[in-house]
Amino acid sequence: VPLKKRWETFRNILCSKSIKCITFNSVVGLMPLHFHRAEDLNQQMDLVLTSIWDIKLAAWILRPDAKEVDLEFASFVAGFPHLCQSKTLVPENASPNLVQLINIKDRLSYLLAMYPIISRSITKKGLADSLDQIEGPLQSVLSAMECIGVGFLPHTYQNIEQRLDNRIEELSLEARNIAGNNSFLCSSPQQVAQLLYDVLKLPVPKDTMPRTATTSSQHRSTSEAILEAIKSSTPHRIIDILLEFRSLNKLLTSYIKPLPFLARKPYLREASLSSKPIVRIHPMWMQTAVRTGRLSCRKPNMQQIPKDSTFDVAPRDAFCATAHDMCLFSFDYSQNEVRILAHMSEDQQLISLFLNKDGLDIYKQMSSLVTGKTVDSVTIEERAITKQVVLAILYGMGISQVSKKLGINRSKAQHFFNSFFARFKQTRRWIDMTKESAKKLGFVTTIVGRRRYLDEIRSNDSAKRAQAERQAVNSVIQGSAADLMKLAMLKIGSRITDWHKEGHSAGGTGRHPRMLLQIHDELLFEIANNKDDIQRLKDAIICCCAEECELDLKLKVPLKVNCSVGSSWGDGMKDC
């Protein structure tokens, strides 16, 4: 049978809506199909496959707090040994290929036996819709994204590496002069603590320390929060040196040096079309690594690559379109999690701010209501404090953390918390109700019904219980934001799959956009650098990721998306 025919048969099975494919770790299993189709830039990719029912993914939905090792195939076999007692006998003198095929057959039989057990648990707990409609189909999207990768320019990092090395050495030399010690290392927490507290006698502001900390541990900490607190109360040149050193050293060791080694050669077809083809980086997308349901990625972690420039170079500038006639297109949700808070809490004051058609700054509007000032008279500091209070609610931060972040005392931070809840009363009620529900049920649910279990929510240990209560609120907001992004990826993925069926304007190219990265509340695509193609994708984004998601999730507030385009992912991205 010709190879082309075999590929087509395999694809037809996966795309069939009448067949259920029981798999294990299908994000990896689908890669041969996606790599095969990704090589042809004009060929559509099957981004959304609804036939996949993955055992590993289903187990994670049942217990999102499961450790990674517990989701490996060997752990399932150890947990259900009675399902794999009858193994196929291997004939004597069997070839290595035959032995491998027999092992694969036994594994598939095991998955088939496990399917009804896990499926019943999924249905019993009301998680079938979340698995079948969102998490399951998303696996193919993530697999395709990893296969496609994103264009990368290694020389961008190579050009800045020496400059960073030189600046780090300058900072180290200045620090050694201040310390009066030629062997002083800015990278050593012990030496830094000794210099700050024993030699320079710098005090640590009391408000920066948690109440449970011991005296000895307080005065030996050299965390960024502590350094910022010392800088605010007792400015000293060494603090600026240490903060800059850590920032540059992390940039150098986490991104500038290692990322070029992760780049791979371009597809054969791309290499044949250009004398200098652009290499790609293919991040590994993880669907089962974060308890709230947020996606994560590795090798590299694209979600931590900083936006800000260093020496006039933004690390994101190295990520680019893969051809001169292509460009990058990005969309991100505006105030996504605050909108979800408004929806979940049903606070009419908060909802009304998002229904305001004037397009005013949401945090200035909130600060105006909290402080009683007009929007125009709200100061930069008041806006910053209000924003931090909102983020504290969303991320489960306490008053101490907010005061550290903003460099204000606890009483001022407490005042803004009290003022916020006095104005947006229903948010306080919703938080309390969420905590009580978590204590009663042992879990919280997101906007699509996905669960997160909180084992410490009834703990006798007050610290553990308080942490679980913060996680309860955070998990609903963060988890629902993750649900929204996944739904958006599926909707725009389906639209891209059918791109050729819609036809295109006379000025467009008709080439399929390609989904590259999912970063926090942002999706990054590669598309033909053509005005009509860009407008077509923007219209599709607004329709699929804003309007349709609002309707499907029955949101009480509108979603807002910001779109931008550029040749690289960094400072070159411009609003469109």
pLDDT digits (tens, 9 = 90+) for 137-176: 999 999 999 999 999 998 888 878 888 999 999 999 999 9
The two structure tokens encoding residue 482: 């993750």
515/526 Cα distance (integer angstroms): 7
- What are the DSSP calls for 300-363, one per residue? S-GGGS--S-BTTB-GGGGEE-SSTTEEEEEEEESSHHHHHHHHHHT-HHHHHHHH-TT---HH
pLDDT digits (tens, 9 = 90+) for 381-425: 888 888 888 888 887 777 777 777 776 778 888 888 888 889 999
Quick check: is 267 in a domain?
A: no
Based on the fold, state whether residues 228 and 351 are members of the same structural domain. Answer: no
Based on the fold, state whether residues 19 and 96 are members of the same structural domain. Answer: yes
71/552 Cα distance (integer angstroms): 31
Backbone angles phi, psi at 320, to 5 degrees: -145, 175
Cβ–Cβ under 8 Å, residues 295 and 57: no
Quick check: is 231 in a domain?
A: yes
Based on the fold, state whether residues 237 and 105 are members of the same structural domain. Answer: no
Note the pLDDT of residue 187: 94
Based on the fold, state whether residues 344 and 449 are members of the same structural domain. Answer: yes
pLDDT digits (tens, 9 = 90+) for 260-319: 999 988 765 555 555 566 899 999 999 999 999 999 999 999 988 888 777 676 789 899
Quick check: is 266 in a domain?
A: no
The pairing of beta strand 561-566 with beta strand 326-333: antiparallel
Cβ–Cβ under 8 Å, residues 492 and 545: yes
Based on the fold, state whether residues 346 and 453 are members of the same structural domain. Answer: yes
Residue where a domain terminates, one of 117, 147, 177: 147
Q: Which domain holds residue 299?
A: 293-334+484-575
Quick check: is 285 in a domain?
A: no
Residue where a domain terminates, one of 112, 147, 182: 147
Quick check: is 272 in a domain?
A: no
Residue where a domain terminates, one of 102, 124, 147: 147
Based on the fold, state whether residues 326 and 435 are members of the same structural domain. Answer: no
Based on the fold, state whether residues 377 and 301 are members of the same structural domain. Answer: no
Based on the fold, state whether residues 360 and 472 are members of the same structural domain. Answer: yes
Quick check: is 271 in a domain?
A: no
Based on the fold, state whether residues 297 and 348 are members of the same structural domain. Answer: no
Total structural domains within the chain: 4
Return all residues near 52 (Cβ < 8 A) that are at least 6 apart.
14, 21, 23, 26, 30, 136, 137, 139, 140
Torsion angle defined by CA atoms of residues 215, 217, 222 and 225, in that order, rounded to the nearest 10 degrees:
-70
Note the pLDDT of residue 273: 52
Based on the fold, state whether residues 68 and 178 are members of the same structural domain. Answer: no
Based on the fold, state whether residues 217 and 167 are members of the same structural domain. Answer: yes
The maximal CA–CA distance of the chain, rounded, in angstroms, is 86
Alpha-carbon torsion 568, 571, 572, 575, what sign? Answer: positive
The two structure tokens encoding residue 184: 């002083």
Based on the fold, state whether residues 392 and 476 are members of the same structural domain. Answer: yes
The two structure tokens encoding residue 21: 């494919």
CB atoms within 10 A of CB 78: 10
